[in-house]
Chains A and B, each alone.
Chain A
Amino acid sequence: MSRSRPWIVSLALLLAALLPASASPQTAADKAMTEDCTECHTCGVPTARQPCLKACPRTTMVHQASKHQLREAPGMMHLDQLADLYLPVEFNHKAHAGMAEMGLDCATCHHFSPPGVIPPCGECHEPNGSAADLSKPNLKGAYHRQCLACHREWSHDTKCIVCHAPSEQAKLATAPPDPTDIVGTVHPAIAVPAKRVFTTPYQAGPVVTFQHQEHVDLFGFQCTDCHREEGCANCHDITEARRPARTQEEVHAICNDCHGADACAKCHDTRERPGFTHNRTGFPLTGYHQQLDCWSCHPKGKRMKRIDSMCRSCHANWSPETFKHHVTGLVLDEVHAGLDCDACHPDHRYNASPVCDTCHDDGRTADKAPPGVHSKTKSSGASSSSGSAGGGTR
């Protein structure tokens, strides 16, 4: 008795461990599912082989699949099930998934996705629809309606060759260079407006100048960072009447991602504002600095942080060994090349004129008696040596 007990206990433990394990793949999905099986299934005991699914039309959109990431999406897809008159369609799934991010996400097309599954179109839409069941389009109709719903809306172009290659010579679509954004993909280049000037009902400052180009170029925004919940027709085939009206909250929500803490006057003004230049900050950008993006100096974040204009705040590692002084236009002579920086630039104040009276008491200045040879190509030297170090003089 005492010998058999551990055996029974271990068996019980094994069973206890096995049972949840065998059930676990379903439980996660089951939790998300509705209790009533008959909502989707026609038979009492659906199996994988015979799921006896009800036809789920678009109107009762089932989309419980967890949010999928763009990187999980398949790239190019070769749709050849129906090819007869035309060559198969090379469908850039990833590019379209990227565009869908601005709309309803995957559900824009995958209108029936039970928990954990994104079934392919052909699973419900049969290639040869039967005349007895007209509740859903056949595969050809489903594909074309899916594509044309958007394509005809914005381009008014229903020519077959937009998607179908008419002959063998036709080039296949290539994978997009940047699959994370719609610009640079198969979507033709989008003309980004330099600025938009809005007239708002805010009396103290009715004019808002939105520097679109700046936000893209300077701050590195991607289209989808701001353009969400967009349809093709928001840009294409545009008429003011069709553009959906947005509430004050909706308009501000886009900007408030970054500007939430700013005062109204940050954007609102009585007149149109010029674009941003770094001159406004009291630190005009010259030389190598002009080529940098904002985040090379400013800490990355949604709000631009003011930083100390002292060279040392970025160039902490400058020393006589690492700094090539000739980029300033002055090639130091042998004597001065060995000195510490702060021998001439006390407190590392490189903005100020260098001082000589640390060593020299004859009242000389760097202008009158330079500690080396002025190179004639000061400006070009400063900019061409961008790889090594920044200019100490500006």
Chain B
Amino acid sequence: MTLDRREILRLAGVGCAALAAGVRPADAELAPSPASADSWAVLMDTVACIGCRKCEWACNVENRLSDAPASTFDNLKVVDAPRRPEHDSFTVVNRFRSPADRDHSWTVKLQCMHCADPACASACLVGALAKDQTGPVTYDAWKCIGCRYCMVACPFQIPAYEYNKPVQPQVRKCTFCAPRLAEGRSPACVAICPNEALTFGRRQVVLDAAHTRIQASPGRYFPHVYGESEAGGTSWLYLAPVEFAYTGLPALDDEPIPHHTERIQHAIFKSFVPPLALYGVLGLVMHALRGDNGHQENTSG
């Protein structure tokens, strides 16, 4: 069988068309967001937060993170310098000040947001990170290969790596106290919060409570619940006295982060058509070329 130039070009054109058709699938075809109104969520009210760091202490105890004595967390000065969650501190409280009035400040607790559609889980090659239907984004250290793609993918810069451990280092982050949730208890930080700056409940109930607070005290809160729609929705939601540019939380659109990549990648590999088409074209080219070579060998031999 021989292919002339016209036929090869035609086949190549069909392959490219198939590729192009797969590149932009409808949004509905992307993985649906598992954020359900029924999953667990926490509302962090930065107006009510007093920056006492009790949540940091409770987290430390619950997850056996460090041997730091309880008195370590009595030092309230550290909240003035912004910190990030680390491998040995899954949550941190940071203070932010109003640019207009330096005396006016608020404290923001930062931890894994437990996104409805987590970028870390999407980036994970081996499925070590996964979104649980009840809310938490869980981590399986046995699957993890330590590639740290999750750390790059997370828009909140949450996953932290145990660089200090030469043997079996893990990616560490807030677990949403998944074992406690399974027992029907609230996360340790929520349970200890003295001022009820953290409110735990089903996501829809928590959202309703957040909007009720905004309506009840319009001057007290900036009229937006951070996490309701950011990055496709998160399990941790925030209320703030000012716009969220002053809370250390990143400005994100409503598009789930994985959609940016999955739209292309999932499309390309959808039903394995593009690779098949590509390799088909390559195969055809090789076949055509081999035919020419054989013909030449035959004539020479």
Contact = CB atoms under 8 A, between A and B. Distances in A.
A239 interface: yes
Interface string B20-50: 0000000000000000000000010000101
B196 A140 contact: yes
Interface stretch (B126-134, B201-209, B284-292): B201-209
B202 to A, nearest CB: 7
A137 B206 CA distance: 12
Given A158-B51, A158-B52, A131 B196 contact: no
B51 A59 contact: no
Nearest to A84: B192
B103 A141 contact: no
Task: Describe B's contact surface by its main secondary structure.
Answer: mixed
A144 B52 CA distance: 12
A217 interface: no
A129 B190 CA distance: 12
A68 B76 CA distance: 40
A23 interface: no
B252 to A, nearest CB: 25
A226 to B, nearest CB: 27
B283 interface: no
Task: Describe A's contact surface by its main secondary structure.
Answer: loop
B205 A140 contact: no
Interface in A248-268: none
A144 B195 contact: yes
A59 B217 contact: yes
Contacts of B192: 85
Contacts of A158: 50-52, 76
Contacts of B199: 134
Interface string A37-67: 0000000000000000000011100000000
A59 B221 CA distance: 15
Interface in B167-213: 186, 192-196, 199-202, 205-206, 208-209, 212
Contact of A135 (B48, B50, B193, B209): B209
Contacts of A144: 194-196
Interface of A: 57-59, 85, 129, 131-132, 134-135, 137-138, 140-142, 144-145, 148, 152, 158-160, 237, 239
25 contacts: A58-B216, A85-B192, A131-B186, A131-B202, A132-B201, A132-B202, A132-B205, A134-B199, A134-B208, A135-B212, A141-B194, A141-B196, A144-B195, A145-B48, A145-B196, A148-B50, A148-B195, A152-B50, A158-B50, A158-B51, A158-B52, A158-B76, A159-B76, A160-B52, A237-B103
